[in-house]
Amino acid sequence: MKYALSMLAMAVFTAPAFAQDLSAPPSDLVEIVVPDLAAACELSEPPAAIEDGAGYDALVAAQGDVKSFQTSAEAYRECLDGVRDAPDLTEGNEIALNALHDQSVDLEEQVAGRFNEAVKAYKAANPD
């Protein structure tokens, strides 16, 4: 829950960077606000980093953690998509939802990348 709230806060505070459509005049700024309904969308904590020199069993366990996180990220994005169906969303709400969606994708890619690097290191240290 803390992680989801911190992502929401990050979106609110970083979203002004997304607020201005460069093709629109400066007076057309949009207020970026995460819709209240999005508070129900929770993303689980990402798995801990894999220790250097992790063995086969640790990698198998880490793979399960990564898959579990990916499932959570997918459910989180589906929840955000459900919020998009609310009839009273503003343009700023849409921008905030897009930012949250993109942040979850970026985080999922980082988690997968860390796992892939650990697998590469294991294979390099344990050639067949």
pLDDT tens digits along 46-87: 999 999 999 999 999 999 999 999 999 999 999 999 999 999
Residue 1's pLDDT is 45
What Å distances lie between residue 45 and 16, 22, 42, 126, CA to CA?
Answer: 25, 35, 9, 30
The Cα–Cα gap between 74 and 111 comes to: 14
What are the start-end ranges of the H helices in the chain?
2-14, 56-83, 91-125
Burial of 94 (0-12, 13-18, 19+ CB in 10 A): middle
Q: What is the pTM of this model?
A: 0.75
The answer, yes or no, to whether residue 26 has pLDDT greater than 90, is no
Residue 27's pLDDT is 39
Domain layout of the chain by residue ranges: 2-20+28-39+53-125
Residue 127's pLDDT is 87
Q: What integer best gives the mean pLDDT of the chain?
A: 84
Q: Is 76 left (phi over 0), alpha (psi -120 to 50) or beta?
A: alpha
Report which residue type is found at 35. P
The answer, yes or no, to whether residue 108 has pLDDT greater than 80, is yes
